[in-house]
């Protein structure tokens, strides 16, 4: 068994997930990144609790993510967008104060994986993750390619209870 293969002897535990797209311009019809994450969540066997688009506004975004963290029915929040280097990118500023523990390795590994795809432009990604109230929060860039890189290279494994040697499922709140 490789280090990234799920342990097929273990029982799969579905995670209850909220997907949030951070954008001033996306609609349900044009939200390729959010819709990609929704499909990934469902195909992996997890439970989609909600899918929303929120304006790239610090306070609206912080309120929505805080509500998800407080919601006993949400164990994971996948955010796409608002992690770049413009003044409109407010995800880092909005979400960071809500996190009890930061997962530094997520951003580091995301940028490493992304470097193989887009080269040094990956340094402009401020992708990050953390834990609060038994809820894991993954913040990814807004492009479908970046969401694919994060999902396939990190998130899918870390939300899979069968992934060894460790994953985040046992650290999430129980219902």
pLDDT tens digit string along 135-151? Answer: 999 999 999 999 999 99
The domain that holds 134 is classified in CATH as: 3.40.980.10
Residue 159 domain-assigned (yes or no): yes
Q: What is the mean pLDDT of residues 103-107?
A: 96
Residue 156 domain-assigned (yes or no): yes
Structure confidence by residue, pLDDT tens digits, 50-79: 999 999 999 999 999 999 999 999 999 999
String of DSSP letters for 26-51 = --TTT-HHHHHHHHHHHHTT-EEEEE
| Torsion sign across C-alpha atoms 159, 162, 163, 167 | positive
Backbone angles phi, psi at 48, to 5 degrees: -80, 115
Residue 92 domain-assigned (yes or no): yes
Residue 111 domain-assigned (yes or no): yes
| Angle ∠(78,110,154) on CA atoms, nearest 5 | 60
pTM of the predicted structure, to 2 decimals: 0.93
The CA distance from 138 to 63, in Å, is 16
Residue 2 domain-assigned (yes or no): no
pLDDT in the model for residue 82: 72
* Spatial CB neighbours of 46, under 8 Å, sequence gap ≥ 6: 14, 15, 16, 17, 76, 159
Residue 3 domain-assigned (yes or no): no
- Evaluate whether 16 touches 49 at the Cβ level (below 8 Å): yes
Instruction: Name the CA radius of gyration of the chain, rounded.
Output: 15
Residue 21 three-state SS: strand
The range of the structural domain enclosing residue 45 comes to 16-168
Residue 77 domain-assigned (yes or no): yes
Residue 9 domain-assigned (yes or no): no
Backbone angles phi, psi at 24, to 5 degrees: -90, -10
CA atoms lying within 13 Å on the CB side of residue 101: 12
Structural domains counted in the chain:
1
Structure confidence by residue, pLDDT tens digits, 20-41: 999 999 999 999 999 999 999 9
């Amino acid at each position: 068994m490789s280090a990234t293969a799920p342990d097929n002897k273990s029982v799969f535990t579905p995670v209850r997930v909220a997907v949030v797209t951070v954008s001033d311009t996306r609609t349900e019809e044009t939200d390729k990144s959010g819709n990609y994450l929704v499909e990934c969540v469902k195909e992996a066997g997890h439970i989609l609790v909600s899918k929303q688009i929120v304006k790239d506004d610090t306070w609206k975004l912080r309120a929505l993510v805080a509500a998800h963290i407080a919601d006993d029915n949400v164990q994971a929040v996948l955010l796409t967008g608002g992690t770049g280097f413009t003044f409109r990118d407010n995800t880092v500023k909005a979400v960071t104060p809500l996190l009890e523990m930061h997962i530094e390795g997520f951003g580091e590994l995301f940028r490493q994986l992304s470097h193989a795809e887009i080269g040094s432009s990956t340094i402009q990604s401020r992708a990050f993750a953390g834990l609060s109230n038994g809820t894991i929060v993954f913040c990814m860039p807004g492009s479908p390619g970046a969401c694919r890189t994060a999902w396939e290279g990190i998130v899918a494994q870390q939300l899979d209870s069968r992934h060894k040697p460790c994953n985040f499922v046992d650290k999430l709140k129980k219902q």
